[in-house]
């Protein structure tokens, strides 16, 4: 057993979830952008029907980790991944797996609202059409918009451009678009960073509803948000000792335990606000 896998197994012992409750089992050994080692040695299980929060200082690689979970990073030519991400018993980084297929099941909501330059209706129906959905399209669109708490605001202007909405509405539109196809897992990358407090609260309520049907992984830079919505929290930090800026998982556990009784000194400093 080499040093890397030893480090991995020691962390795995710190937070273990019954395999049948895991929807994804992510064993990240090394994530590179070119020669730059962005993330190392992190084991992050994503639990079924729970919200897993990723917190940590900026530059700790939490977004990189999230974007590795549905192979969005494959779009960056210099991205290189070592390790495995197991989803329903299948390593999604296996050579036989097409990243496009992965993204059909593991949806994503981005940091910046990014509606398409088309009508509100078409934005939500986009994924349904993409998957050649045969059922009642109107009903699906309404359901998705309702679950994103946007229906009452837009029901009379479904033909308007998605870009005509306010920032908060755009983000909820993007959430509606993501949930319309009912993906198995939803990855959310700081979905509230561009939102005002009211919209943030709406999105948080939405997340709590979504976990009934989905498994959610949430990156947030806002610790209060993690305590409000996350069932499990993973704390990442950044290691600058080797002259680089390499992110790694410090501690993972039930949210309350991580915030109230952190095991690692780094976590303790971070959650108490000593280290931003």
Partner 1 sequence: MASNPFAHVVTKVSGPPSAVDYGADKLLRGVVWGAAAVILLLVAYIVFELGRQAFPAMLEFGPEFIYSTTWDVQAKQFGILPEIWGTLYSSLLALLLGGILGVAIAIFLTQDFLDHRVSNVFRTIVEMLAAIPSVVYGLWGIYVLIPLIRPGANWLHDTLGWFPFFGTSLSGPGMAPAALVLAVMILPTVAAISVDAFKRVPYKVKEAAYGMGTTRWEAILKVMLPSASSGILAALVLGFGRALGETMALAMLIGNSNQISLSLFAPANTLASLLASSFPEAGPIEVQALMYAAIALLAITLLVNIFGLWIMKAATRKFEGK
Partner 2 sequence: MTGNISQAILERDLDSLPQLKGSVLEGRGLRSRIYTGITWLLAILAAFPLFSVLYMLIAKGGARINWETLTELPPSAFEVGGGIGPAIVGTGVMVGIGAAISIPIGILAAIYLAEIDPHAKLAQIARFLAKVLTGFPSILAGVFVYASLVVAMKSYSAWAGGIALAVLMLPTVILTAEEALKQVPQKMKDAAYGMGCTRAQVISKVTLPTGMPGVITGVLLAVAGAAGESAPLLFTALFSTYYINGWEGLSEPTSSLSILIYNFSGMPYDNQIELAWTASLVLVLIILLFNILARVLGRQKF
Alpha helix ranges (H) inside 56-191 = 62-68, 99-105, 120-130, 137-147, 151-154, 167-180
Cβ proximity to partner 2: between 80 and 103 the closer is 103
Minimum CB separation of residue 248 from partner 2 in Å reads: 25
Q: Are 228 and 216 in contact (CB under 8 A)?
A: no
Q: Are 123 and 177 in contact (CB under 8 A)?
A: yes
Q: Does 133 bind partner 1 (CB under 8 A)?
A: yes
Tokens of 76: 């960056």
Q: Does 180 bind partner 1 (CB under 8 A)?
A: yes
Q: Segment contacting partner 2 (CB under 8 A): 7-15, 41-49, 123-131, 209-217?
A: 123-131
Please list every residue from 66 through 95 that binds partner 2, using CB under 8 A.
70, 72, 75, 77
Give the torsion sign (CA, 82, 87, 90, 94): negative
- Kindly state the number of chain residues that form the binding site for partner 2, as judged by CB under 8 A: 29
Question: Which string of x and - marks every residue 137-166 that binds partner 2 (by CB under 8 A)?
Answer: ------------------------x-x---
Q: Does 50 bind partner 2 (CB under 8 A)?
A: no
Q: Does 100 bind partner 2 (CB under 8 A)?
A: yes
d(CA 9, CA 35): 25
Report the partner that residue 184 touches, choosing among partner 1, partner 2, none (CB closer than 5 to 8 A by kind): partner 1
Applying CB under 8 A, among 7, 12, 17, 97 the residue interacting with partner 1 is: 97
Cβ proximity to partner 1: between 214 and 248 the closer is 214
d(CA 274, CA 276): 6
Q: Return the SS3 of 37.
A: strand
The DSSP letter of residue 66 is H
Q: Does 117 bind partner 2 (CB under 8 A)?
A: yes
Report the partner that residue 128 touches, choosing among partner 2, partner 1, none (CB closer than 5 to 8 A by kind): partner 1
Measuring CA to CA, how many Å separate 211 from each of 50, 74, 147, 183, 259? 6, 27, 12, 12, 21
Minimum CB separation of residue 168 from partner 2 in Å reads: 16
- DSSP code string of 125-151: HHHHHHTT--S-HHHHHHHHHHHTT-H
Q: Does 131 bind partner 1 (CB under 8 A)?
A: yes
Q: Does 210 bind partner 2 (CB under 8 A)?
A: no
Q: Does 96 bind partner 2 (CB under 8 A)?
A: no
Q: Does 142 bind partner 1 (CB under 8 A)?
A: no
Tally: H helices and E strands in the chain = 11, 10
Phi, psi at 86, each rounded to 5°: -95, 130
Contacting positions for partner 2 (CB under 8 A): 70, 72, 75, 77, 100-105, 107-108, 110, 112, 114-118, 126-127, 130-131, 161, 163, 174, 177-178, 181
| Binding-site ranges for partner 1 (CB under 8 A) | 87-90, 96-98, 100-101, 104-105, 127-128, 131-133, 180-184
């Amino acid at each position: 057993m080499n040093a890397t896998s030893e480090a991995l197994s020691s962390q795995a012992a710190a937070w273990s979830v019954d395999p049948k409750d895991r929807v994804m089992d992510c064993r990240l050994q090394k994530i590179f952008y070119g020669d730059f080692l962005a993330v190392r040695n992190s084991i992050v299980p994503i639990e079924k029907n729970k919200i897993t929060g990723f917190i940590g200082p900026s530059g700790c690689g939490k977004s990189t980790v999230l974007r590795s979970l549905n192979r969005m990073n494959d779009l960056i030519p210099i991205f290189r991944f070592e390790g495995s991400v197991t989803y329903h018993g299948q390593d999604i980084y296996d050579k036989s797996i097409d990243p496009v297929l992965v993204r059909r099941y593991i949806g994503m909501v981005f940091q910046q609202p990014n509606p398409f330059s088309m009508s509100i209706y078409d934005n939500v129906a986009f994924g349904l059409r993409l998957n050649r959905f045969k059922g009642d399209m109107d009903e699906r669109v309404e359901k998705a918009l309702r679950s994103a708490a946007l229906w009452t605001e837009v029901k009379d202007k479904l033909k308007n451009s998605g870009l005509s909405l306010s920032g908060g509405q755009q983000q909820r539109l993007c959430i509606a678009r993501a949930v319309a196809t009912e993906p198995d897992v939803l990855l959310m990358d700081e979905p509230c960073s561009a939102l005002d407090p009211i919209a943030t609260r709406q999105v948080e309520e939405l997340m709590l509803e979504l976990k009934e049907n989905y498994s959610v992984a949430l990156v947030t830079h806002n610790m209060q948000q993690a305590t409000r919505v996350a069932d499990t929290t993973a704390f990442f930090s950044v290691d600058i000792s080797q002259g680089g800026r390499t992110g790694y998982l410090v501690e993972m556990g039930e949210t309350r335990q991580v915030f109230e009784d952190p095991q690692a000194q780094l976590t303790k400093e971070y959650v108490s606000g000593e280290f931003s």
